[in-house]
Amino acid sequence: MTADRRPALSRATVDRDAAAREDDGVLAAAWPTAQVLVVDNGQALVSDDGPALVLLPSSDAPEGDRLYLGRDEDSAYFAVAGALPRRSGARPVGLRDVGALLGDRDAGLLVHAVGLANWHATHTHCPRCGAPTLPARGGAVRRCTADGSEHFPRTDPAVIMLVTDGGDRVVLGRQAVWPPGRYSTLAGFVEPGESAEQAVVREVQEETGLAVRDVVYRSSQPWPFPASLMLGFRAVCDGDGEPVPRDGELEDARWFTRDELRTGGALLLPPPVSIAWRLIDDWLQQG
Ligand SMILES: [Zn+2]
């Protein structure tokens, strides 16, 4: 059997069913038998058994905007932002902690719900005129109460890249705020008017002084903290220079061999929920 090489938060089984968003009657008819995921500041109730999301019958859901997540053969699914219910054998958990442990359906539901709820919580007013906006189309848009303009959920593209020497070494860096020993791939936001590939070259240069070439896309995953989409790349260092932290973002950056990464020791790699881990692990498996 082939191992699952998808990034942990890029798994989903529920059909987003965008057509249903166009008809409030369809959404209203789905609600009575729907299952509801309650989210509160990025957390959801997760049962220790599995672990698995605790989904409520809609009759038990708190008051709040009904954000349509889609449907599968079992049910329709909505998210509601509100106080988490209490259940024995279950506890509030965030996506970072549980995202890699949930099954495919639950990982997809939670990342969708958290990303959508984050956007609604922070986009309550119209960027054109400042009037309040209200959710529409099952939460897929917000509409201005004054001028009727529609506003769509924002996703901020970021690049994350494993820089190799074309052989047995990669560059990893660490930020001062990370736990002792933690090293990870370089990363940064795509700027306006810039391609993802250009952002890879620029960020590596800014953070380490290294020039890279042969930028190749690998995979992506949503990272709703609060609204990023991580675009994963590999790039090859042009030359055999040493990385030197230079823009204040990293406190250290250095080359590591596969053996060093496998042996571990004091080295702490990023957690499996991150696409950084996926990029590193894929490269380790190839060596
Ligand atoms: Zn407006």
Distance 122 CA to ligand 1 centre (A): 15
Distance 115 CA to ligand 1 centre (A): 23
Identify the structural domains of the chain with CATH numbers, from first to last.
8-122 (3.90.79), 156-286 (3.90.79.10)
Which residue, 193, 168, 194, 158, is CA-closest to 274? 158
Distance 123 CA to ligand 1 centre (A): 12
Distance 153 CA to ligand 1 centre (A): 16
Distance 121 CA to ligand 1 centre (A): 17
Query: Taking the model in full, what pTM does it have?
Result: 0.95
| H or E, element range at 28 | helix 24-30
Instruction: Provide the CA 11 distance to its chain's centre, in angstroms.
Output: 11
Which pLDDT score, from 0 to 100, does residue 1 have? 44
Distance 223 CA to ligand 1 centre (A): 29
Distance 229 CA to ligand 1 centre (A): 27
Which pLDDT score, from 0 to 100, does residue 2 have? 58
> In this structure, what is the dihedral angle of CA atoms 4, 7, 9, 13, given to the nearest 10 degrees?
-40
Distances (CA, A) of 175 to 95, 203, 251: 21, 15, 5
Distances (CA, A) of 241 to 197, 246, 267, 284: 21, 14, 22, 22
List Cβ neighbours of 185 (8 Å cut-off, separation of 6 or more): 160, 161, 162, 163, 172, 173, 270, 276, 279, 280
Instruction: Provide the CA 47 distance to its chain's centre, in angstroms.
Output: 22
- CB 228, CB 158: distance < 8 Å: yes
Walk along the chain (287 residues) and give the pLDDT tens digit of each residue.
457 899 999 999 999 999 999 999 999 999 999 999 999 999 999 999 999 999 999 999 999 999 999 999 999 999 999 999 999 999 999 999 999 999 999 999 999 999 999 999 999 999 999 999 999 999 999 999 999 999 999 999 999 999 999 999 999 999 999 999 999 999 999 999 999 999 999 999 999 999 999 999 999 999 999 999 999 999 999 888 999 998 888 999 999 999 999 997 889 999 999 999 999 999 999 98
Which residue, 1, 2, 98, is CA-closest to 42? 98
> Based on the number of CB atoms within 10 Å of its own CB, is 229 exposed (0-12), middle (13-18) or buried (19 or more)?
middle
Handedness of CA 104, 110, 115, 119 (dihedral sign): positive
Distance 149 CA to ligand 1 centre (A): 6
List Cβ neighbours of 31 (8 Å cut-off, separation of 6 or more): 58, 66, 76, 78
**Could you give the CA distance from residue 287 to residue 284 in angstroms, rounded to a whole number?**
5
Q: Which residues surround ligand 1, an ion (CB under 5 A)?
A: 126, 128-129, 131, 144, 146-147
Which pLDDT score, from 0 to 100, does residue 173 have? 97
| H or E, element range at 136 | strand 133-136
Distance 20 CA to ligand 1 centre (A): 25
Distance 74 CA to ligand 1 centre (A): 39
The CB density around residue 193, as the number of other CB atoms within 10 Å, is 6
Distance 151 CA to ligand 1 centre (A): 10
